[in-house]
C-alpha cells in the first residue's frame, strides 16, 4: 500500500507544480501573476483567478478540517468568497502562501492515512483523493482566464 500512497503524493505534486502530462499545474498557473491579473474578470458577474484560488483553498481547508476532526468552515459562507476589496500585493502573496501551505498539509494528511487513503468505503478518503480532480478542473479555469487576458499559456 505504501507504493500507492507514494504514487498519489507524486500525482498530487504533479498537478500542483506541473509535469502531469495533461495541463499546467495549479501553482504554475498562479505564480508570477500581478494583482491586476489575479483580480481581472471577463465580466462583472464572473470570477477572477483570485476568486477561483480562494475557492480551491477553501475546499482543501474544509477537507483538512474534516480529516483532523476540527471545526470545518461553513460551506455556504466560504464556498465562493471573493477576492478582498483591498486587493493588493501583500494580500495576494498571503493567498499564494496559503495555497502552498494547504497543499503541503494535504500531502501530510494523505501520507498519514496510508492504506486508509484507498478505502472507497471511507468518505473522507475519497474526498481527499478527489481533490486532485477539483483542483485540476479549476486550474483549467485559471488557464482560460489567463488566456483571456492575453497571457501566454503555461506549457
State the residue for C-alpha cell 498562479: 30
The number of folded domains in the chain is 1
Residue 85 lies in a domain: yes
pLDDT score recorded for residue 20: 83
CB contact at 8 A, 5 and 122: no
pLDDT of residue 57: 96
Would you call 129 helix, strand, or coil by DSSP? helix
In three-state secondary structure terms, 71 is coil
The phi, psi pair for 51, rounded to 5°, reads: -60, -45
CATH of residue 134's domain is 1.20.120.450
If you ran DSSP here, which 8-state letter would residue 131 be given? H
Residue 56 lies in a domain: yes
Other Cβ atoms within 10 Å of 53 Cβ, number: 25
The CA distances from residue 76 to 26, 65, 80, 81, in Å, are 24, 16, 8, 10
Across the 155 residues of the chain, what is the mean pLDDT of every consecutive 10-residue run? 84 89 91 97 97 97 91 88 92 97 94 83 85 93 96 86
Q: What is the pLDDT of residue 50?
A: 98
**Total H helices, total E strands in the chain:** 7, 0
Residue 59 pLDDT = 95
Domain contains 135: yes
* In a domain? residue 153: no
Angstrom distance (rounded) from CA 76 to CA 65: 16
- pLDDT at residue 1, rounded to an integer: 58
Q: 56, 99 in Cβ contact below 8 A?
A: yes
C-alpha distances in Å from residue 108, one per residue of 10, 68, 75, 82: 13, 11, 23, 28
**155 in a structural domain:** no
Identify whether 154 is part of a domain: no
- Give the domain range for residue 41: 2-148
Amino acid at each position: 500500500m505504501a507504493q500507492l500512497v507514494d504514487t498519489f503524493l507524486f500525482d498530487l505534486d504533479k498537478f500542483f507544480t506541473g509535469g502531469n502530462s495533461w495541463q499546467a499545474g495549479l501553482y504554475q498557473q498562479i505564480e508570477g501573476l500581478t494583482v491586476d491579473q489575479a483580480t481581472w474578470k471577463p465580466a462583472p458577474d464572473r470570477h477572477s483567478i483570485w476568486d477561483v484560488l480562494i475557492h480551491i483553498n477553501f475546499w482543501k481547508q474544509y477537507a483538512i478540517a474534516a480529516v483532523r476532526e476540527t471545526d470545518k468552515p461553513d460551506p455556504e459562507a466560504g464556498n465562493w468568497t471573493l477576492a478582498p476589496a483591498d486587493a493588493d500585493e501583500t494580500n495576494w502573496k498571503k493567498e499564494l502562501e496559503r495555497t502552498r501551505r494547504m497543499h503541503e498539509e494535504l500531502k501530510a494528511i494523505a501520507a498519514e492515512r496510508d492504506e486508509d487513503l484507498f478505502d472507497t468505503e471511507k468518505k473522507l478518503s475519497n474526498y481527499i483523493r478527489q481533490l486532485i480532480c477539483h483542483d485540476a478542473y479549476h486550474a483549467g479555469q485559471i488557464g482560460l482566464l489567463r488566456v483571456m487576458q492575453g497571457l501566454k499559456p503555461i506549457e
